[in-house]
């Protein structure tokens, strides 16, 4: 057993940590979804600086803009940027499309698309969910039909996370074959976002997040934009998710929020006494600290286990995802309880505590669906993790 | 990062598992519940031969100089088998206190005897105040010539009924803080004036007693550590004990998980193995999560103890999480095993469940350890970034407003919403 890191790894951690401390503005705030153009521009600036350092996709070879580092090192960088809740405007390129291209793309695709992702110069959207296909990816109906040198797309996606910045590519899964079981007829594509025939309809969501419906009407895309093998899209997407399971940034972000909240409880008096002296508050804060630690270890276990896949075989189970999704709601509910009446105030109110950030995070903690619902993770855990029988 | 046991630890684990599977079957566990002593002196000597009592002690006292991580591996297996023995009382709570605070003479006299199975100890700490802190200690020791006289009642004392010596935690002074004025004494368990009453508890195997000291005379040379300075070494040993208690729960939890998942795969109702139903899967998944979470917080704490790194927070987190997680794990198992899980003679689960409650409470329950955690984290502050301020977060409005005009690209002609 070794719960520590090598000297080299500690050096890397310190370098990343120092970088953020020195680089991020002193009035920087975490947990803010970038809804202003200025803020997005600033985040893009951070992203491209990190890209230059190779910290966006450190696991990729240098020729694709990475540093050729191992998973543990990658997850150390993720943990340190997670502490600052670095909101990657191109989170989809970094966490999904890029890894899929890296694993399954052609050499030409990799050379063309990966460096831009690694440098923080592209914006990707993930186009998977449809009105009739959420958790059940196999039911996708967006159709891609081969026509000469192209594929022609017709259909619709929905709930696609969109940002106040123009996307470059859509990382898309579409139906290429009618077959039972249905998930054997899906294929991955990358689609230029400004392809004629594609239209966007905004669907505002809670916490001022924005998702979109995306419509495809005879949108034509050259065949070389297919990712991986025809009709293997479902499997490719699953494998890609596996590579991104160890999101060590989550507990780090939660720890930052706990740090801020503890400071707030020290500095805020209720009934003439600092909040931090209240036994309920103390018990609650300690409980949150315990849960974060359990989550942190679960994710590091996944990271380590994944990094040893050649020796130990494919990842057996991951409990980081489940814990990461389940910790947030109770955590912010508890913080809201401590804020009492103040908890209902939104950012911008003169009386808002901590600039209304707890309320915002409480709102977002209702959304555990992206990248698979809690129930979807449980299906994987029951089957692959515990070997329980499946319904057919 | 390495989440595997070393080769030697794997060997120790296998050796312990094999030994306990043949020597400590379910029937033996049940027999010991009814047994007055609650353990087998014969097996106690057998495990001494295997080196279990001496695992953690220095070589010069006959030990193997193992680490806390090694010891945790052993405790996991003992927990899995529900092995009834005074190991925690004797080796960890008693032996390690003597190792930490005792003088050379005491160590040379007692540790080899613990190692070869000839001496058993019991820690007499808790009192009717039911507190794990120094402020709960009221039993007095008063100097009288070459002796001290101990007077008062200790309660919930594990393994007192079979111990050769009681390690008695006494108050010798009312200091400005409760920790000041605690002194430890090694008391011959058969000293005149000590009386024992076995407590009737939920778990028949962890035998506990009320121990009344009625003006019990103890020679001064039996003092362990310094006068009035007994709390500091004891507090560290209590932490070490808490981690071992966690390891026992991890091993037990793992077994409960295995029993439950096996049952879910084989029990058929409504034409299907019940493991096919998502509600049953849910129970199994949380069971896995409780056990797995407990394993890593526990191993991390044991690793910190082994490596001599600061461990206060990790130990408190381990016990705070594992105590409750194990109880909840058993509850989940009961849901899946239904009728079979509730009947005493048909299966192991009732044995695990009743032990879970005792282990949860022993050496501090979750709330107790969360209090410690709160103390350790109350001064946490966020890191402060030092770059030039940008003023982008100060205006409250941009994200207080849902006007889609702030999404200029959506307004773009090409991205015109479909109407
Ligand atoms: C803020 C936000 C951003 C998003 N961004 C994107 C994005 O960028 N790109 C994208 O493609 N999608 C995105 N999504 C969509 C998200 O991936 C889906 O919401 C998610 O996959 C669930 O699909 P659904 O909402 O259709 O729910 P459904 O699949 O209809 O599920 C409804 C409920 O039924 C449960 N359920 C479904 N099947 C089973 C089963 N077999 N057993 C047990 N329970 C089951 C689900 O777990 C859920 O609780 C986003 C969603 C949100 C909230
Ligand atoms: C203290 C006690 C007293 C009792 N007294 C009596 C009595 O007086 N008379 C009497 O007749 N019985 C009695 N019972 C039996 C009791 O009714 C059964 O235990 C109960 O019906 C469950 O049956 P089982 O134990 O065989 O569990 P199982 O039916 O094997 O169930 C095991 C698990 O699978 C779940 N499960 C089963 N089918 C499904 C499904 N389709 N979907 C999802 N989950 C499912 C169950 O909910 C349970 O969690 C008693 C039981 C106990 C513990």
Q: B291 near B329, Cβ under 8 Å?
A: yes
pLDDT attached to residue A34: 74
Mean pLDDT value across residues B328-348 = 91
Residue A380 pLDDT more than 90? yes
Q: A319 near A298, Cβ under 8 Å?
A: yes
Q: Is residue B404 part of a domain?
A: no
Distance from CA of A109 to the nearest CA of B (A): 26
Residues A223 and A253 in one domain: no
Out of B303, B373, B408, name the one closest to residue A3 (CB). B303
pLDDT attached to residue A269: 96
Residues A261 and A374 in one domain: yes
Cα(B92)–Cα(B87) distance, rounded to whole angstroms?
A: 7
Mean pLDDT value across residues A366-392 = 92
Residues B184 and B219 in one domain: yes
Residues A251 and A377 in one domain: yes
The boundaries of the domain holding residue A189 are 125-229
- For ligand 1, the distance from its centroid to the CA atom of residue A322, given in whole angstroms, is 15
Tens-place pLDDT, residues A293-345: 999 999 999 999 999 999 999 999 999 999 999 999 999 999 999 999 999 99
Q: Which of A73, A286, A297, A338 is the best mutation test for B, with the most CBs of B within 10 A?
A: A286
- Kindly state whether B418 is in contact with chain A, defined as any CB-CB distance less than 8 angstroms: yes
Residues A154 and A198 in one domain: yes
Residue B59 pLDDT more than 70? yes
The number of C-alpha atoms within 13 Å of A173 and in the hemisphere containing its C-beta is 29
Residues A83 and A138 in one domain: no
- Domain CATH for B32: 1.10.540.10
Residues A75 and A131 in one domain: no
Confidence at B413, pLDDT banded by 50, 70, 90 = very low
Q: What dihedral angle (degrees, nearest 10) is formed by the CA atoms of B61, B67, B71, B74?
A: -100
- Domain CATH for A220: 2.40.110.10
Q: Which atom of ligand 1 is nearest to the CA of A379?
A: 42
Q: For residue B376, which of A260, A17, A2, A290 has the smallest C-alpha distance?
A: A290
Indicate the residue among A68, A89, A110 that finishes a domain: A89
Indicate the residue among B118, B153, B180 that finishes a domain: B118
Cα(B282)–Cα(B286) distance, rounded to whole angstroms?
A: 6
Residues B197 and B132 in one domain: yes
Nearest residue (by CA) to ligand 2, atom 25, is B339
Residues A224 and A337 in one domain: no
Q: Is residue A137 part of a domain?
A: yes
Say which ligand is closest to the CA of A135.
1
Tens-place pLDDT, residues B78-107: 999 999 999 999 999 999 999 999 999 999
Residues B257 and B358 in one domain: yes
- Residue ranges with strand state E in A112-197: 124-127, 143-147, 150-162, 169-175, 186-192
Cα(A291)–Cα(A257) distance, rounded to whole angstroms?
A: 13
- Kindly state whether B278 is in contact with chain A, defined as any CB-CB distance less than 8 angstroms: yes
pLDDT attached to residue B407: 55
Residues B65 and B49 in one domain: yes
- Domain CATH for A342: 1.20.140.10
Cα(A118)–Cα(A51) distance, rounded to whole angstroms?
A: 6
pLDDT attached to residue B394: 65
The boundaries of the domain holding residue B306 are 232-377
Out of A3, A26, A375, name the one closest to residue B300 (CB). A3
Q: Is residue B211 part of a domain?
A: yes
Mean pLDDT value across residues A65-91 = 93
247-276 of B, contacting A, C-beta below 8 A:
261, 264-265, 272-273, 275-276
pLDDT attached to residue B410: 59
Indicate the residue among B72, B91, B118 that finishes a domain: B118
| Total structural domains within chain B | 3
Residues B107 and B129 in one domain: no
> How far is residue A317 from each of residues A353, A378, B49, B288, B398, measured CA to CA in Å?
40, 11, 39, 10, 41
Mean pLDDT value across residues A45-68 = 95
Q: How far apart are the first and last CA of chain A?
A: 40
Out of B263, B270, B274, mutate this one to test ligand 2's pocket (max ligand atoms within 8 Å of CB): namely B274
Burial class (CB in 10 A: 0-12, 13-18, 19+), A359: buried
Average pLDDT across chain A, whole number: 94
pLDDT attached to residue B399: 40
The number of C-alpha atoms within 13 Å of B404 and in the hemisphere containing its C-beta is 16
Mean pLDDT value across residues A218-232 = 97
Residues B15 and B114 in one domain: yes
ipTM value, please give it: 0.95
Q: Bridge-partner residues for A127, per DSSP?
A: A172
Do the strands B121-124 and B165-171 form a parallel or antiparallel pair, or are they unpaired?
parallel
Residue B401 pLDDT more than 50? no
| Total structural domains within chain A | 3
Residues B256 and B363 in one domain: yes
Residue B75 pLDDT more than 90? yes
Residues A256 and A312 in one domain: yes
Close Cβ partners of A268 (under 8 Å, ≥ 6 residues apart):
A274, A275, A353
Q: Is residue B95 part of a domain?
A: yes
Q: Is residue A160 part of a domain?
A: yes
pLDDT attached to residue B169: 98
Q: Is residue A2 part of a domain?
A: no
């Amino acid at each position: 057993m070794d719960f520590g890191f090598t000297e080299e790894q500690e050096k890397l951690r310190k370098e990343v940590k120092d970088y953020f401390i020195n680089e991020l503005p002193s009035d920087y705030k975490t947990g803010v979804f970038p809804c202003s153009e200025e803020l997005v521009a600033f985040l893009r600036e951070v992203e491209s600086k990190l890209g230059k350092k190779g910290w966006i996709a450190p696991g990729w070879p240098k020729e694709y803009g990475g540093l050729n580092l191992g998973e543990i090192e990658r997850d150390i960088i993720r943990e340190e940027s997670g502490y600052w809740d670095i909101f990657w405007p191109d989170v989809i390129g970094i966490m999904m499309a890029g890894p899929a291209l890296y694993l399954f793309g052609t050499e030409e695709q990799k050379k063309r698309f990966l460096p831009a992702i690694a440098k923080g110069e592209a914006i990707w959207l993930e186009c998977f969910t449809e009105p009739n296909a959420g958790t059940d990816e196999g039911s996708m109906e967006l159709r891609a039909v081969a026509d000469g040198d192209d594929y022609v797309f017709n259909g619709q996606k929905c709930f696609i996370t969109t940002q106040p910045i123009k996307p470059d590519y859509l990382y898309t899964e579409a139906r290429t074959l009618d077959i039972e079981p249905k998930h054997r007829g899906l294929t991955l594509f990358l689609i230029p976002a400004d392809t004629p025939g594609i239209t966007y309809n905004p669907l505002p969501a809670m916490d001022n997040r924005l998702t979109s419906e995306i419509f495809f009407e005879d949108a034509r895309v050259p065949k070389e934009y297919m990712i991986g093998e025809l009709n293997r899209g479902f499997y490719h997407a699953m494998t890609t998710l596996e590579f991104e399971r160890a999101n060590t940034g989550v507990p780090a972000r939660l720890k930052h929020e706990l740090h801020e909240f503890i400071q707030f409880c020290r500095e805020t008096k209720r009934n003439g006494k600092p909040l931090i002296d209240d036994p309920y508050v103390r018990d609650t804060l300690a409980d949150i600290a315990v849960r974060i630690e359990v989550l942190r270890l679960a994710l590091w276990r996944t990271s380590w286990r994944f990094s040893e896949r050649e020796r130990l075989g494919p990842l057996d189970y991951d409990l980081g995802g489940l814990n990461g999704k389940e910790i947030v709601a109770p955590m912010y509910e508890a913080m809201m309880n401590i804020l009492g009446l103040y908890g209902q105030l939104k950012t911008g109110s003169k009386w808002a505590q901590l600039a209304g950030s707890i309320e915002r995070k409480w709102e977002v903690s209702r959304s555990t669906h992206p990248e698979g619902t809690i129930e979807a993770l449980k299906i994987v855990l029951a089957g692959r993790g515990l070997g329980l029988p499946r319904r057919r | 990062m390495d989440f595997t046991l070393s080769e030697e630890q794997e060997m120790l684990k296998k050796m312990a598992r094999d030994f306990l599977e043949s020597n400590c079957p379910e029937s033996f566990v049940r027999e010991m519940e009814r047994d007055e002593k609650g353990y087998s002196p014969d097996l106690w000597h057998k495990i001494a031969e295997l080196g279990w009592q001496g695992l953690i002690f220095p070589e010069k006292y006959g030990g193997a100089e193992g680490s806390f991580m090694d010891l945790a591996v052993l405790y996991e297996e003992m927990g899995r088998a529900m092995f009834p023995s005074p190991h925690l009382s004797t080796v960890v709570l008693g032996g390690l206190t003597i190792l930490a605070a005792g003088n050379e003479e005491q160590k040379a006299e007692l540790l080899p005897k613990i190692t070869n199975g000839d001496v058993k100890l019991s820690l007499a700490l808790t009192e009717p105040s039911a507190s794990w802190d120094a402020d709960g200690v009221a039993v007095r020791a008063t100097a009288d010539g070459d002796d001290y006289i101990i007077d008062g009642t200790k309660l919930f004392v594990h393994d007192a009924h079979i111990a050769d010596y009681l390690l008695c935690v006494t108050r010798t002074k009312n200091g400005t803080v409760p920790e000041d004025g605690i002194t430890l004494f090694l008391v011959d368990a058969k000293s005149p004036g000590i009386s024992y009453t076995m407590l009737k508890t939920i778990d028949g195997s962890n035998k506990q007693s009320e121990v009344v000291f009625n003006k019990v005379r103890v020679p001064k040379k039996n003092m362990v550590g310094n006068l009035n300075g007994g709390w500091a070494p004891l507090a560290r040993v209590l932490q070490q004990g808490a981690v071992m208690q966690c390891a026992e729960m991890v091993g037990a939890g793992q077994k409960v998980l295995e029993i439950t998942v096996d049952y879910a795969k084989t029990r058929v109702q409504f034409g299907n193995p019940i493991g096919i139903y998502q509600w049953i899967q849910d129970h199994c998944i949380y069971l896995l999560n409780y056990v797995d979470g407990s394993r890593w917080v526990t191993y991390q704490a044991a690793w910190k103890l082994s490596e001599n790194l600061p461990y206060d927070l990790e130990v408190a987190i381990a016990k705070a999480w594992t105590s409750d997680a194990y109880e909840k794990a058993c509850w989940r198992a009961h849901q899946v095993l239904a009728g079979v899980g509730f009947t005493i003679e048909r299966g192991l689960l009732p044995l695990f469940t009743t032990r879970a409650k005792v282990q949860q409470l022993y050496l501090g329950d979750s709330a107790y350890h969360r209090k410690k955690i709160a103390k350790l984290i109350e001064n946490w502050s966020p890191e402060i970034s030092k770059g030039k301020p940008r003023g982008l977060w100060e205006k409250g409005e941009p994200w207080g407003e849902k006007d889609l005009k702030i999404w200029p690209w959506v307004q773009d002609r090409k991205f015109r919403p479909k109407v």
